[in-house]
Amino acid sequence: MKVDLVQVEPIALLPTQAGCAVFLGDGKKVIVFYIEPAIGASINAVLSGQKPPRPLTHDLFVQVLDAFGAKVTHVVISRVENEVFYAHLYLSAENEIMEKKVIDADARPSDCIALAVRQEAPIMFVREAWDEQPDMSHVLDELREQGLGEG
């Protein structure tokens, strides 16, 4: 059974009292969910072109993937239950000691996004779950009018 997917991208990341708000958009709609501040900073570092003086955890993970001949092919945010988002990280590995292998790992969407932006991998959302999320474009527009949410 083929699942209908929507490709999305991070539109803005904003610090909040409880963490970091991630705005994802598909060009027609924007949704928001909340993540830990450190992971928000990790995503934002890549999106803003910053290079930390020492590798962050997600940078280390990418280095390990590279060493094993693996890469992030894409991520899929698969469902939302009680405001908790669930995702899958898809990896492809091929090296001299094994045939090509595709791995589907259960992962937090925040970690998936942090890895996807580092490897320029597509971020997908299962359409049914995407369609259930309210459009928050107006909230992002209001924040931008206040000088927030640039990025």
Q: What is the CATH number of the domain that holds 44?
A: 3.10.690.10
Q: Is residue 12 part of a domain?
A: yes
| Number of domains making up the chain | 1
Q: Is 150 domain-assigned?
A: no
* Mean pLDDT on 61-74: 95
State pTM to two decimals: 0.90
Is 131 within a domain?
yes
pLDDT at 5: 97
Contact (Cβ atoms closer than 8 angstroms) between residue 14 and residue 148: yes
Cβ-proximal residues to 130 (8 Å cutoff; 6+ apart), any chain: 6, 8, 26, 29, 31, 77
| Of 42, 54, 53, 55, residue with least CA distance to 116 | 42
**Tell me: the pLDDT tens digits for 92-150?**
998 777 788 999 999 999 999 999 999 999 999 999 999 999 999 999 888 888 876 55
- Host domain of residue 27: 5-145
Tell me what the mean pLDDT of segment 52-72 comes to: 93
Chain position carrying tokens 């939302």:
80
Instruction: Quote the mean pLDDT of the chain.
Output: 92
* Residue listed under structure tokens 């990280």: 89
Asked, for residue 40, whether it belongs to a domain, the answer is: yes
Is residue 151 included in any domain, yes or no?
Answer: no
